[in-house]
Amino acid sequence: MTHPVFELRPASERGIADFGWLYSKHTFSFGHYRDMNQRGFSDLLVINDDTVRGGGGFDTHPHRDMEIFSYVLQGALAHKDSMGTGSVIQPGDVQMMSAGTGIRHSEFNHSRAEDVHFLQIWIVPNQTGVTPRYQQVHFSEADKRGKLRLIISPDGEDGSLSVYQDARVYAGLFDGNESSSLSIDGDRHVYIHLAQGELTVNGHAMTAGDGARLRHAKDIRFTDGVAAEVLVFDLRPHEYPAF
């Protein structure tokens, strides 16, 4: 019998990039931060915890053959791209961009005074050369309060955003005695990222910014939240992203 494995990735061990206008914490290798033991997990390549100062942002730049989604925690993020999409992403919104054959986009803080705090996450696709696409869906607090809401899936089930990969992403909010469980079908890898607050996962205490790799876990229990906001990634059972 294979026993479940829980491997904590402490927030304090993440890579840091501070450009003044941008303060970023890298869970996995990105930019000038390189760690051979942190090259992603399964098809999950990037989790960047970004804070952009008022008026700051990422100028127009290209992407290709990557599934990129943004999850805003505080403030508002303004998006523009070469498909003609223009939008403002706020807490509760999930934005998914399939870069495919190539796309150019910019992301700026929508405010000139307040910070915007968001997660930018990359998933390696199972198809290359697809036609670029943009999706944005709002999930209310009630959708996630005390439970895990499916926000991303291969076929867009239950109102989730579609991703070109065998991956599912859930979001949840937990506080006080709120609790929930997630059953994993088959031999899968799971990554948990605690975006905010405190949370206990299968008996392991986690704090804001912590991540965890789970292998061979069939049931995952979320309890003892303190203003917790969590993302859960149900992934294929291999260790590192392949290009």
What is the residue-wise DSSP string for 63-121?
A: E-S-EEEEEEEES-EEEEETTS-EEEE-TTEEEEEE-TT-EEEEEEES-SSS-EEEEEE
Q: Which class is domain 5-235? A: mainly beta
pLDDT of residue 79: 84
pLDDT of residue 82: 87
Distance CA(212)–CA(44), nearest Å, equals: 13
Q: What is the pLDDT of residues 8-66, one digit of tens each?
A: 999 999 999 999 999 999 999 999 999 999 999 999 999 999 999 998 888 888 889 99
pLDDT of residue 177: 96
The structural domains of the chain, with segments of one domain joined by +, span 5-235
pLDDT of residue 1: 55
Name residues of the chain where pLDDT drops below 50. Answer: none
